[in-house]
Structure 1
C-alpha cells in the first residue's frame, strides 16, 4: 500500500524538478546579488534549505526556501547580563523604552553586538531606514522589514515586477516571492527568503543534544553537525534556528539503502489528507520533520528502516505524532526545551489526531476516499 501510494501520489518527476529549478534558481540568485549590492551586510550565498534541497518535496516542485545570511562577523552569546531597553512604540515600530526587555523565552535570544554595530555606523551601513539596531542590539523586526524593502527594490531594478510578486506576512520571518511564468511547470512557484544570523556558538547542555546513550545519529554524524542560526520570527527576540543542522542530519540519511526520506515524503503527503485546506493549518511539515528525527532516534537499527518496513515505520510515526498531539508537546529535536506545539490550536490539532487515527485504523479506505 505504502509503495503504491508513494509511486502514484507522492513522487515528483525529475524532469519537473529540473525544469522549475533551472528557471527559479538563476532568477533568485540575481535578486540576492542585487540585494547584496544594495546592502553588503546580506551575503550573496544563501543557505539552501527546505524540502527541495533535502529531496523531500512531494507532488510538485513548486516551493523553494532560502536562508539569507546577515553577516554578524562574530559569535552571539546565549546568555546576556546587560539589560536592553526597547519595545513596541504606538506606531507598531520597535523603539527605545525606559523599561528593560524581559529575559528571552526558551529557544530565543538577543543579538547584542555593540562592536559590530559601531563598525556598521563607521562604514555608513546603519543609517536611516537601513538602521537595524537599537543601542547595541540588532532588532529582528527591523531586519525583516529592511530586507523586504531591499528585495522589492532589487525586483524593480531587475525589471521583474511582471513575473515576481512580493508578500510578507507579519507572523512569518520570510519574505515570500510568488513567481508566475509560462516556463514554470504548474505556472506558479513560491519562494521564501528568510534573513538569518549565523550564531556560531556550539550546542550547550540545556539544548539536551546530543543525548547520552542515543544510538542515532552516529558519533561521526554528530561531529559534522554544526551551524546554529537565529531567525526573525519575533519582533524583539531572535529565535534559534537549526536549519543547517537539520540539513546535515538529513544528508546521507539513506546511504544504507533505507527508507527514511521516503517515509517522510509519504507523511508529508498524508498531512494534506489529515489537514484539509479549508481548515487551520496547525500541523506543519516542520513538525513531521521532527517526528522523523525522533523516530530515527527511537529506532536506530538500520534493519528497522529496510524498504520492506516502510508501512511499519509510517504507522509507528503516526502513533508517535498522535501521542505528542494528545500531550500537547512536541519537543524540537535539537533543543528539547522548545515545544513546537506551543500556541497551536488544541482543538484543531485534536481533530488532526482523530484524522490520523482513522487513517491508521483503515489506511486503504482513507486513501481511496482521498483520491
Structure 2
C-alpha cells in the first residue's frame, strides 16, 4: 500500500513540475502584465476620490489583492476607506449577503459616504458601484489606456477588457476585521477535528470582506433590497486554512486539471470551486499526517470523487455559507459533461498512476 502511495505521489509531483509549474510561470507573466495596467488605473481613481484606496501591492513577488479566477480572468478588491458609523447586519434574508445600516442616532450627513446612503439608512452597494464605474472610466482616459482597455457596459460591475484577451473585475470592498458573520456561525463544526483552535481564532480575527458586486446567480432573489446588499467574501480566511502540508500543491494540480479539461463556456467551473473542494477534504482528513507529500494521491482522488458527487447532485455548497450554492445557474448539460470528465480523470489516476501524460 505504501509503495503504491509513493509511486503515485512521485508521478503526481512529476506532473506538478512539468505541467503545473509551467502554468504558474505563464500566469505570473500575465499577472504582471495585467497588474501594471490595473495598478495605474486604480492609483488614478484614488487621486480623484480619496475614499477609494488602492491596495494592490507586490508582496513576495506576487500581487496581493489580485485573484486568478482562470487563465484569462482576474478579480481585484479595491478597498474603501472604513465603514465608520455603519452597523453590519447579517439577518440571512439574502443568503451570502449582508447590509450596512447607519448606526442609531447618526445622521446621514455625519457619514463619509453620505451620498450613497438610502432613505432607510443603508449604505447602497449599487450606488457605490455606480460611482466607482464612472471613476474608472475617467481614469482609463487620463492614463491613456483607451486603446488597450475597455470598460464593459453590459454589467453594473466594473469589468475591464484588456487587450481583448483578459477580463478583470474590480470590486469596491470593505474589510471587516474582528467580527464574524452570523451566517457562518456554524463554523467550525464541533464534530470535525479541523482546523486547530489557534487557526480558528486567527481566521475569525482576520474576519472577511464585503464586496459591492452584482448578486451572484448562486443567491436566490428575495427583494429589491439586494441591490443595496454587500456580498460576503472569505478569500483571506480560505488562504490561511489551506496552508501547510501538500494542500497548496494539491490545489495547484486541481487548477491545472481545470484549465486543461474543465474550461467550459460560461466559466461554470473556476478556481474557487477547486479551492472549496480542498477545504472540504481538509475536514474529512483533519490530521496533518494525512497531508504529507506521500498522501497527495489519496487526497487528490478523494477530492475528485467528491467533485463528481457535487456535479451529479448539481449542488456545491459554499464552504462558509452552505446556503449559497456555487453551481446555481449553471447549465445542466455542462455539469453532466463535467461529471463524466472528472470521472475519466479519476479513473486515469487510479488505473494509470505511473503515466499521467494524458492529464
Q: Which residue of 1 aligns with 2:222?
A: none
1:75 CA drift (Å): 5.1
**1:261-272 aligned within 5 A:** 261-272=248-259
Paired residue secondary structure (1:336): coil
d(CA) in 2 for partners of 1:296 and 1:318?
14
Please provide the CA RMSD for this pair. Answer: 3.5
Inter-CA distance 54–264: structure 2 relative to 1 (3 Å threshold) = farther
d(CA) in 1 for partners of 2:173 and 2:69?
26
- TM-score, normalising length: structure 1: 0.74
Structure 2 gap segments, 5+ residues each: 1-10, 216-226
Q: Which residue of 1 aligns with 2:118?
A: 134
Q: Do residues 329 (structure 1) and 315 (structure 2) align?
A: yes
Q: 1:43 aligns with which of 31, 53, 70?
A: 53
Q: Which residue of 2 aligns with 1:177?
A: 160
**1:248-327 aligned within 5 A:** 248-250=240-242, 253-254=243-244, 258-277=245-264, 279-327=265-313
Q: Do residues 78 (structure 1) and 89 (structure 2) align?
A: yes
Q: Write the deviation string for residues 190-245 of structure 1: whole angstroms up to 9, x where unpaired.
A: 43321122345324375311221432222111111122222223234322111232
Q: Which residue of 2 aligns with 1:229?
A: 209
Inter-CA distance 205–189: structure 2 relative to 1 (3 Å threshold) = closer
Q: Which residue of 2 aligns with 1:118?
A: 109
CA contact (8 A) 1:199 1:228 kept: yes
Paired residue secondary structure (1:337): coil
Q: Write the deviation string for residues 77-107 of structure 1: whole angstroms up to 9, x where unpaired.
A: 2346xxxxxxxxxxxxxxxxxxxxxx73222
Q: Write the deviation string for residues 41-95 of structure 1: whole angstroms up to 9, x where unpaired.
A: 212325999x9659996996x6553211223224532346xxxxxxxxxxxxxxx
Q: Write the deviation string for residues 17-50 of structure 1: whole angstroms up to 9, x where unpaired.
A: 665555554543332222122222212325999x
Q: Which residue of 2 aligns with 1:152?
A: 137
Q: 1:246 aligns with which of 222, 231, 238?
A: 238
Q: 2:44 aligns with which of 34, 47, 56?
A: 34
Q: 1:209 aligns with which of 172, 187, 191?
A: 187
- Tell me whether 7-16 or 238-247 shows the greater mean CA deviation: 7-16
Q: Write the deviation string for residues 339-371 of structure 1: whole angstroms up to 9, x where unpaired.
A: 22233333321221111112212245996556x
d(CA) in 1 for partners of 2:155 and 2:107?
27
Paired residue secondary structure (2:294): helix
CA contact (8 A) 2:69 2:270 kept: no
Paired residue secondary structure (2:75): strand
CA contact (8 A) 2:67 2:74 kept: no
Tell me which of the two structures has the higher relative contact order, counting C-alpha pairs closer than 8 angstroms and 6 or more residues apart. 2
Paired residue secondary structure (1:76): strand
Aligned residue pairs total 325
d(CA) in 1 for partners of 2:107 and 2:234?
23
Inter-CA distance 37–113: structure 2 relative to 1 (3 Å threshold) = farther
Q: Write the deviation string for residues 166-206 of structure 1: whole angstroms up to 9, x where unpaired.
A: 336527x4x233444xxxxxx96543321122345324375
Inter-CA distance 27–280: structure 2 relative to 1 (3 Å threshold) = closer
Paired residue secondary structure (2:173): strand
1:153 CA drift (Å): 0.8
Paired residue secondary structure (1:137): coil
CA contact (8 A) 1:207 1:335 kept: no
Q: Which residue of 2 aligns with 1:184?
A: none
Paired residue secondary structure (1:138): coil
Inter-CA distance 52–9: structure 2 relative to 1 (3 Å threshold) = farther
d(CA) in 1 for partners of 2:183 and 2:70?
39
CA contact (8 A) 2:23 2:256 kept: no
Inter-CA distance 367–192: structure 2 relative to 1 (3 Å threshold) = farther
d(CA) in 2 for partners of 1:281 and 1:14?
20
